[in-house]
Structures are given as C-alpha cells and as structure tokens.
Amino acid sequence: IEQANHYTFLIIGDIGTNQSIVKSSARKISVQCKTTMLIKFFFKFLFSSMSSSLVDIGFFTLFVALFRNLIPQYYIYISTALARVISAVYNFNMNKHTVFRNTDKNKFIAVKYFVLCVIQAAVSSVCVKMLFDITAANESIIKIVVDTILFFISFNIQREWVFKKKK
C-alpha cells in the first residue's frame, strides 16, 4: 500500500518533480541500454575475430600438410597466404552480416575491408620485427601483443569506416 501511495503521489504530485524523475530514470535506462548494446556488439566482434583465428589456423595446418612435400621451400608462405585469404573472407562476412548488420550491396565495402586487412597485416609484421629487433623477446608473444592492439584499432576502423551505415 505504501508503494502504491508513493506512485500515486508521483502521478498526482508536483508535475515538475515528476517530469525530472521520469527524465532522470529515462536517462539511466538509456545509458544502461546503450552500454549493454555496446558490450554485446563488442563481444560479437570478439567472437568473429576469435573464430576467424581458428579458421586461419585450421586451414594453415591443412595447407601445411598438403604442401610440405610438394613445395618444401615455400609451403609456409603459400599456406599462410591461402589460410589468410579464407579467414579474411569468413571474417568479412561475419562482421558484415552478424556484427555490424550491414545490408548495403555496395562492393566498395569489401574493398575497404581488404585494404584494411592488407594494411593491418603489414603493420603487424613491421611492428613484430621492430619489437623483436629491440627486445629479442619471443616473436609469438610480441605478435600476440601487437595483434591485440591492432584488434582494438581495427574494431574502430571497421565500425567507423568499413561498415559504417549511411544516414
């Protein structure tokens, strides 16, 4: 009954006070919804990236097994390139349709995505090489750190440039 009286007071009480309470509550709900949506959005991107890494490693392993004896000098480079192309196509489709829900038929989006992929791969390799030369730390650990930083940068570039919806 007390709670019912409280709400009754809000309804029939001072209109200015009621409006500020409603606005304040609406703002809190709006911020909470936006935060929840952003977290869900980020985790979709994280899932897409991690599953792409699994696709990349899986195909790399397959291609190494196929090409090791056929092309012994170049099998690692060929396996890396083929696996990266497949995982990039997978990642593009996951990001376009699942993460960013972009329905634009414009082929320029794919061009922007693959330009980003090439630049990101180049930046990664240069940074790993530079940091290895400076620190002599394990290349794989350096790569994980560099690629984690690039992951966050790539997320923002994809959101703001590659898959940005037109207004």
What pLDDT does 29 receive? 64
Maximum pairwise Cα distance, the chain: 84
Q: What local confidence, expressed as pLDDT, does residue 6 receive?
A: 42
Angle made by CA atoms 111, 125, 121, in degrees to the nearest 5:
15
pTM of the complete model: 0.66
Which tokens go with 40?
A: 């869900």
What's the rounded mean pLDDT across residues 122-132? 86
Q: E strand or H helix at 96, and its extent?
A: none
What's the confidence (pLDDT) of residue 157? Answer: 94
Q: How confident is residue 2, by pLDDT bands cut at 50, 70 and 90?
A: very low
Distance, CA of 136 to CA of 159 (rounded, Å): 35
Model confidence over 3-51: pLDDT tens digits?
Answer: 444 444 344 445 555 555 555 555 666 667 778 888 888 899 899 999 9
